[in-house]
Amino acid sequence: MTAPGWALITGATSGLGRALARRCALAGWDLVLVARRDALLQELEREITRELVERCTSRRIRLVCLDLSVPSAVDVLERSLADQGVDPGEIGLLINNAGVGDHGCFHELSRERIEQTIALNVCVVTQAIHRFLPRMKRGSTVCTVASVAAFTPGPLMAVYYASKAYALSLSESLAEEYRPRGVRFVAVCPGPFQSGFHAAAGIGSGGRLPTADAVAGRVMAAVRRGSAVVPVGGGAWLWALAGPRLPRWAARRIMHALQRRRS
């Protein structure tokens, strides 16, 4: 991984996004934080700045208040970077963290929510990589937060599971394609953890889950190693190994049963 420059993090005010922003700052990265709620971005900037001051250091922090699910969002993002003096060629770490998902029968989901899921989990990930990759230098890293959901079909969360399978496949493919150029691609596949995702998706989390900060620590370790695919959590490793080896019909049945229980 290249020496710290700019780290661009989407979904920066979510539980995992906040934890990643803090860890990136403490690791020496300047920050471009992208999220749709300005008040939360301002609050996050103050928190990080306060912690850095306590450590007698500082970082450049740029905020981009933007709903990434709208058309041409990446164009708006690029213009905002230029307006704030951020050279895309100095982005050494791109973290695709923004994403959504819904639980429920496919035909009962709203068209708007389905389109938003595809826009955030598929289109923006693809467009951001396509836009910034040509100017990323050798040693840079693109980290995409996929999910353990990427390894199996997901009845009752069909669009979300399909979108994460896409993100994993894209990241793996580019990891090999750009290996000779020295740009690394890391797909992080966490299992469930403490965040607002489960409530937003309309499902119960159940059990004791790792914190967002613990997951962020694993993500940053994966970025340092440059591993192409990194399941995060014991359950995630188990399912990453076992899921693809199950007969397809068995994987569908198991996941359907699990999702019904989480309703």
Q: In what order do the strands lie in the sheet with 229-232?
A: 61-65, 30-35, 6-10, 91-96, 141-145, 184-190, 229-232
Task: Tell me how far apart the alpha carbons of residues 159 and 116 are, in angstroms, rounded to a whole number.
Answer: 10
Task: Tell me how far apart the alpha carbons of residues 215 and 165 are, in angstroms, rounded to a whole number.
Answer: 20
Type of residue found at 200: A
**Closest C-alpha among 52, 46, 45 to residue 28:** 52
Type of residue found at 113: R
State residue 249 phi and psi, 5-degree precision: -65, -35
160 is catalytic: yes
Task: Tell me how far apart the alpha carbons of residues 117 and 218 are, in angstroms, rounded to a whole number.
Answer: 25
State residue 62 phi and psi, 5-degree precision: -120, 135
Catalytic residues: 160
